[in-house]
Amino acid sequence: MKLQAFLPLVTYPDQNAPIIVDHAVALAKHIGAELHATAFNADIPPVSNALSRVLLNVREMVEEAETVSRLRGEQLLASARKRADAAGVPLTTDTVAGAPALLGNQAALQARYFDLSLIGCEAGNVTSGATAQTIIFGSGRPSVLLPELCEINGLDQIAIAWDGTSAAARAVSDARFLLERAKHISVLTVLDEKPLKDRVSERLTTGLRQRGLAAEAVVIRKERGEIGAVLQKHAVQSGAKLLVMGGYGHSRLRDFVLGGATASVLEDVRLPILLSH
């Protein structure tokens, strides 16, 4: 059965960088997946009469914003078609319009019908960051975060952020189709950051080896800085092209309260990261 990957493209108020399309197509080609790209465009609700009396040109402002959003979506989808055709990646496209505050929820709902989501997560892009959070915690499917500054030239080396928790176990299970393709897997465990059961990294490493995978345990002492940055630093140093980790967080009054590693990773994505919740 062929993998189905979902590419949500945000357009308002911030848009995804065009390079995200290139990364998504390259990753889909590498894993042999069909790609479905959806542009999420702004359909801004009518403004109250009281505010429209203060801002006399409010209708023109809304129309301009919607036009900009729609044109951005068209450009991103056109780029996806061009890149996918050149790479030989099967592609379907779609457009969804809605209130900007609700587009993330619509993206999460769509993501439930695919095997995984490929999400652009550019530095300083508030819209893509919020959309990523909503999909990670609302879709029930694994997500791969794609930063601008990365290169998808094979995923033969993979790192796993492992602490023995259920979220980490879920991520490893979701990443199985990638781990089975890897030539080398580094199991990263940070000591002194949280209480850990004995030899958790060795136990996972042994299990991976018993499945015929080349894996090694890498124990990291707690360092200065955010835990997510530490994990990414050691993943890159190990030669990993992808980091697998569990997503920690829960919903409170529709706002996400994130775990430390998840929050710091989303603030600064340095390599493709598969997150599961």
Q: Which of 79, 112, 146 is the last residue of a domain?
A: 146
Q: Are residues 173 and 92 in the same domain?
A: no
Q: Which segment, 57-61, 136-140, 253-257, is predicted with the most confidence on average?
A: 136-140
Name the average pLDDT for the chain: 89
Place 197 in a pLDDT band, splitting at 50, 70 and 90.
Answer: low
Q: Are residues 118 and 180 in the same domain?
A: no
Let me know if residue 152 belongs to a domain. Answer: no
Radius of gyration, alpha carbons of the chain: 20
Q: Are residues 135 and 167 in the same domain?
A: no
Q: Are residues 39 and 116 in the same domain?
A: yes
Q: Are residues 167 and 258 in the same domain?
A: yes
Backbone angles phi and psi of 42, in degrees to 5: -80, 130
Q: Are residues 121 and 30 in the same domain?
A: yes
Q: Are residues 126 and 215 in the same domain?
A: no
Q: Are residues 23 and 87 in the same domain?
A: yes
What pLDDT was estimated at residue 224? Answer: 75
Q: Are residues 15 and 140 in the same domain?
A: yes
Q: Are residues 179 and 259 in the same domain?
A: yes
Q: For residues 165 and 247, is the Cβ–Cβ distance under 8 A?
A: no
The domain that holds 179 is classified in CATH as: 3.40.50.620
pLDDT of residue 254 exceeding 50? no
The domain in which residue 192 lies consists of 157-276
Q: Are residues 199 and 220 in the same domain?
A: yes
Q: Which of 123, 146, 169 is the last residue of a domain?
A: 146
Residue ranges in the chain assigned as alpha helix (H): 18-31, 49-54, 58-87, 103-111, 126-138, 166-174, 176-179, 200-210, 227-237, 260-267
Mean pLDDT of 157-181: 94
Mean pLDDT of 183-195: 84
Name the domain count of the chain. 2
Let me know if residue 52 belongs to a domain. Answer: yes
Mean pLDDT of 92-115: 97
**pTM (2 d.p.):** 0.91
Q: For residues 9 and 39, is the Cβ–Cβ distance under 8 A?
A: yes
Nearest to 191 by CA among 216, 226, 223, 225: 223
Let me know if residue 40 belongs to a domain. Answer: yes
Tell me the C-alpha distance between 266 and 130, whole Å.
9
pLDDT of residue 64 exceeding 80? yes
Let me know if residue 96 belongs to a domain. Answer: yes
Give percent above pLDDT 70 in the chain. 88
Q: Are residues 142 and 217 in the same domain?
A: no
Going by C-beta distance under 8 Å and a sequence separation of 6 or more, which residues neighbour residue 189? Answer: 162, 163, 196, 200, 201, 217, 218, 219, 220
Q: Which of 121, 146, 171 is the last residue of a domain?
A: 146
